[in-house]
Amino acid sequence: MYLLILAILIPFFFTALIPLIHNRVGSIHLGWLVLFVPLVLFSIFTAQIPAISNSDTLMQTVHWIPSLGINFTVYLDGLSLIMALLITGMGALVVLYSIYYLSPSDSFPHFYAYLLLFMGAMLGVVLSDNLLVLYVFWELTSISSFLLIAFWYHRKNSRYGAQKSLLITVFGGFGMLAGFLMLHSMTGTFSIREIIATIAQYTDHALFYPAMFLILLGAFTKSAQFPFHIWLPDAMEAPTPVSAYLHSATMVKAGIYLVARFTPIFAGNAAWFWTVTLVGLVTLFWGAYCAVRQTDLKALLAYSTISQLGLIMSLFGLGSAALHFGDGEQGALYGLAIFAALFHMVNHSTFKGALFMVVGIVDHQVGTRDIRRLGGLMAALPITFTFAVIGSFSMAGLPFLNGFLSKEMFFTASVNAAGLPVFGAPTWGLAIPIIAWIASVFTFVYCMIFVFRTFFGTPQLKKADRKPVEPTLGMLVSPAILCVFIIGLFFAPNLLGDYLLRPALNGILPGISGATPHISAWHGFNTELFMTLGIVVIGTVLFLTLRSWIKIIRLQPAGWTFTAVYNSFLKNLKKASNWITTHYMTGHLPSYFAYIFMFFILIAGGTLIFTGALSIDLTSDSPISVYEGLLTAVMAIAAISILFAKSHLSAILLNGVLGFSIAIFFVLFRAPDLALTQLVIETVTTVLFLLCFLFLPEWTAEDSSKRTKLRNALIAIGAGVTITLIGLTVNSGKLFDSISGYFENSYELTGGDNIVNAILGDFRAFDTMLESLVLFIAGLGVYTLIRLKLGKGSGKDEHQ
């Protein structure tokens, strides 16, 4: 039973179904029908938890292009199960939230179709075992997220954010595709499972490191890692349910998933360790630093998301050292970092999803997300305030919330890395816990800004667009469920650890035992606890003195940002494109032909000369008869004479000489059927030429400059020489026996006496049918245009 494959296809099926049913649901909100999809999928994946927790895996295959090794193979292990549960579970909560959040004026069919399209694409990414199938779903997530971000397309910023996210993530996707092809070139397979099993013998391959960096490029762009993070803040122009789904729990986790999935392939070497770790740490620090500077709640959460993604990425980098040590005490020690990464990935989805929904409630009920216009909302929105405190304090890593547990594990991993006896860590590893601690201080500060600047202080009701009140119960259900998980995972973390995190860790670090710890909140007075206490103390001081130093970090010039670099690049690219286009799109037909033929000469002629393909052998050619020589001379004279013709009629007649001479050639070569066809076509063409030229202006001598005439002459000679060389080379380099012998048996094979007719009607009948269809369509087009023109003309006469 192809249950997993059906789980991927169900969202696509309902996506196609929405346009057919949205007008027939009556008063029922379309979201209630859509909610059925993620709930069913979540139930399907939840039912797999017992089997996966027992170290079982599920694999299902539908053969697609087996000759090329491309099959639709899905694979469910601990890692993909966690991602599938996040995708479907958060999807259900977001759909429920959107039912109450979206305005009746919004297009529900478009929104839910895009959302389901994205859900199916994400499931395809995390369940695919085939590299090329994974890539197809990967790019589909970029396309569907583009549609969701640009949902309010009438807003300029929405279109800008959608374009920005698409360009950056698709750019990384192309790099990732190149890396996938390199992996296939090395290993001879597209299966991730097979690559993991055989990669040890290819670590010295010349393509190993290029493939690694290209795949990381795809992961970094999708997960908004520095310096590709700039697309995420602008993507916040999407509706809040989209932000809660794509930019906290799913899409931005795709790059995290990719790094986790390919850790068994590339980890264990210094390049992977330092690249993933340092990019993650820089992203962690930069995202936290930028979040403090924001005045928009959603922008603050966007940069905090960037920072938290950097934290998870750095943990995967630190944990990759486990594969260098192998099974043993040190391998298990550094494997704890990957366990912490998986734990924090789940925790981040809970508290960040809740916080995005809180921002949506504030924006929906108050009418603004600007921190400068907010304050004192605790009395008006007490339930929303409770959710904000739970989510923010969890993100800050404070006790009695799930974020505290994974943050402590992060500190443990960073402290352990400082003493790592490989990869030069004893020298540079000390910077890892320092950067982690400084970034965590900024994290504490922006979490306090989120809570206290929004819900405490003097009420700013006069600056708000409307009087704030709590939303309907339906909008509170989703963040309430997430807050229950935030608290519940603190008191019962080992349920998650034993049933989901341990199987996922075993899939990432095969053969390394002891890396799954017993999660507890208290480890005594250790370095990690003192780091946390320092964060709380220093963070509190910084928050209380915020007004005295926040202006300093906001002094950064507008042009000194990566977004400014991105905008400048696009602007200069547009200028360059306009300059190139205006120079070759002249509206002058001879210029276009010149470009075409010059390109042909350079590519075809260059290939012949520089690849050594040019080979001319005339020894086996038949002798040229006198008649053939005379006929060739006549054609050459006629062709040259066309250049000097003084009237339309003489040019057409000379062109006819060429066509009829070819017909005579067919007679000499004993092909009367081809000669007859050529005579008919040439006669009809000549008549059509005469008819068309009847309506053209009188023939005038070309007033082109000598330079233009010389250019045209050189191009003409070059094209003729190139064609001649290609023909001679093809004739001289016969690598295979001619297929004409096969067609000589046309009577036995098809019952046809005429070989040409047999080829057209039997051997390539399908091609002939399509050619006839093309002609028929072209005829319909011509007929339609003529009728339209006649109709407009008659209507105009009647109007007059």
pLDDT (0 to 100) of residue 416: 83
Q: Domain map of the chain by residue range?
A: 153-564, 764-800
Rounded Cα distance between 800 and 798, Å, is 5
Whole-model pTM: value is: 0.82
Rounded Cα distance between 655 and 561, Å, is 63
Across 524-535, b (16+ Cβ under 10 Å) vs e yields: eeeebeebbeeb
pLDDT in tens, 438-460: 999 999 999 999 999 999 887 76
Under 8 Å CB-to-CB from 798, ≥6 apart: which residues? none
- Mean pLDDT is lowest, of 34-43, 420-429, 645-654, 675-684, for 420-429
Place 424 in a pLDDT band, splitting at 50, 70 and 90.
Answer: low
Q: What is the DSSP string of 129-178?
A: -BHHHHHHHHHHHHHHHHHHHTSSTTSHHHHHHHHHHHHHHHHHHHHHHH
pLDDT above 90: percentage of residues in the chain: 53
Rounded Cα distance between 141 and 71, Å, is 20
Q: Averaged over 141-165, what is the pLDDT?
A: 93
Quickly count: other Cβ atoms within 10 Å of residue 765's Cβ: 13
Rounded Cα distance between 287 and 309, Å, is 9
pLDDT (0 to 100) of residue 359: 95
Q: Where are the alpha helices (DSSP H) in 618-764?
A: 626-643, 648-668, 672-693, 706-732, 740-743, 746-750, 755-758
pLDDT in tens, 720-741: 999 989 888 888 777 777 777 7
Query: Can you read off the two tokens belonging to residue 7?
Result: 């789980």
pLDDT (0 to 100) of residue 421: 66
pLDDT in tens, 99-149: 999 988 888 999 999 999 999 999 999 999 999 999 999 999 999 999 999
Extended strands (E) in 205-254: none
Amino acid at 59: M
Q: What is the DSSP string of 54-113?
A: TT--EEEEEEEEGGGTEEEEEEE-HHHHHHHHHHHHHHHHHHHHHHHHS-TTS-HHHHHH
What three-state secondary structure class fits 373? Answer: helix
Place 213 in a pLDDT band, splitting at 50, 70 and 90.
Answer: very high
Residue 464, φ and ψ in degrees, nearest 5 = -80, 160
First-to-final CA distance of the chain: 71
Of residues 135, 142, 182, the one with CA closest to residue 162: 142
Of residues 665, 663, 657, the one with CA closest to residue 686: 657
pLDDT (0 to 100) of residue 16: 92
Query: Can you read off the two tokens belonging to residue 425?
Result: 């860590």
Q: Averaged over 647-667, what is the pLDDT?
A: 87
pLDDT (0 to 100) of residue 799: 42
pLDDT in tens, 254-284: 999 999 999 999 988 889 999 999 999 999 9
Residue 717, φ and ψ in degrees, nearest 5 = -65, -45
